[in-house]
Amino acid sequence: MTPSNWQQQLAKFIKRIPVLFGLAYIVYRFFQPKYTIGVVGVIINDEGQVLFVEHVFHPKKPWGIPGGWIGRDEDPAVAVLREITEELQLEAKIEKLLLTKKTQRLHIDIAFLCSPDGEVGKLSYELLRYEWRHPEDMPPLHAFHQLAVEEGVRVFRSQQTANR
């Protein structure tokens, strides 16, 4: 399929004046919706237990999974590992991207399946406590955390079955 004449002419014009196209892109981005993005880690140990944390700043459903906000220009995988380290002094390894979902009007959440690499250390001021629990003993969670844990457990169990 060959480009039409007007497409070729437009491409030539943009190549001659790339600054103009860059300016148009900035104006275009100004009017586009701006989203916040959060990341969470479903951390599952070798026994199949999930790491749940009790959050200070979530009064309605305080229990959840570790996570937080992505910084400007931060890779989501880097952000989730940073949040796990900041909140739990725990090193972790990403196993798989689990879910990406628009959870509020201008907010997107991303969940990763993670495995722990070591032990939980000192908790940050954002957390009251943590517990390793079997998925069947899950506390009440926000909807996205619930979906993420369910998907993480499904993936973990299928990996365990495949490795036997």
- Mean pLDDT, range 142-159, rounded to an integer: 96
State the architecture of 36-162 in CATH terms.
Alpha-Beta Complex (3.90)
pLDDT surpasses 80 at 1: no
Q: Supply the pLDDT for residue 92.
A: 98
Nearby residues of 13 by Cβ (< 8 Å), 6 or more positions away: none
Phi then psi for residue 138, to 5 deg, are -70, 135
**Residue 3: exposure state from Cβ atoms within 10 A (0-12, 13-18, ≥19):** exposed
How is the chain split into domains, by residue range? 1-32, 36-162
pLDDT surpasses 80 at 160: yes
Say what the pTM is.
0.83
Kindly report, residue by residue over 19-78, the tens digit of the pLDDT. 776 777 677 667 776 889 999 999 999 999 999 999 998 888 999 999 999 998 999 999
The contacts found for 158-163 with CB under 8 angstroms, 24 or more apart, are 159/95, 160/48
Kindly report, residue by residue over 65-124, the tens digit of the pLDDT. 999 999 989 999 999 999 999 999 999 999 999 999 998 888 999 999 999 999 999 999
